[in-house]
């Protein structure tokens, strides 16, 4: 799967907490963010159905 880069805005306190979670889970920050995103998509699809053709941004 091809990966894309994105930029996000996040307040410093939240970022530090996210780093702490990633460290506890022995993951990189990037890996932790990817896991959170995939969990969110899975929850959405469980509730609303599979996303077949996501809209282009």
Note if the pTM is more than 0.85. no
Q: Is residue 34 part of a domain?
A: yes
Q: Is residue 55 part of a domain?
A: no
Q: What is the pLDDT of residues 15-57, one digit of tens each?
A: 999 999 999 999 999 999 999 999 999 999 999 999 987 677 6
Q: Is residue 6 part of a domain?
A: no
> Could you tell me the CA-to-CA distances from 41 to 12, 16, 23, 36, 46 in Å, in that order?
25, 24, 23, 9, 9
Q: Is residue 23 part of a domain?
A: yes
> Which range of residues forms the domain containing residue 22?
12-48
Q: How many CA atoms lie within 13 A of 39 on its CB side?
A: 6
Q: How many domains does the chain have?
A: 1
């Amino acid at each position: 799967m091809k990966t894309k880069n994105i930029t996000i805005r996040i307040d410093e306190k939240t970022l530090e907490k996210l780093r702490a979670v990633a460290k506890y889970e022995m993951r990189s920050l990037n890996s932790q963010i990817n896991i959170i995103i995939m969990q969110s998509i899975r929850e959405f699809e469980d509730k609303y159905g599979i996303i077949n053709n996501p809209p282009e941004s």
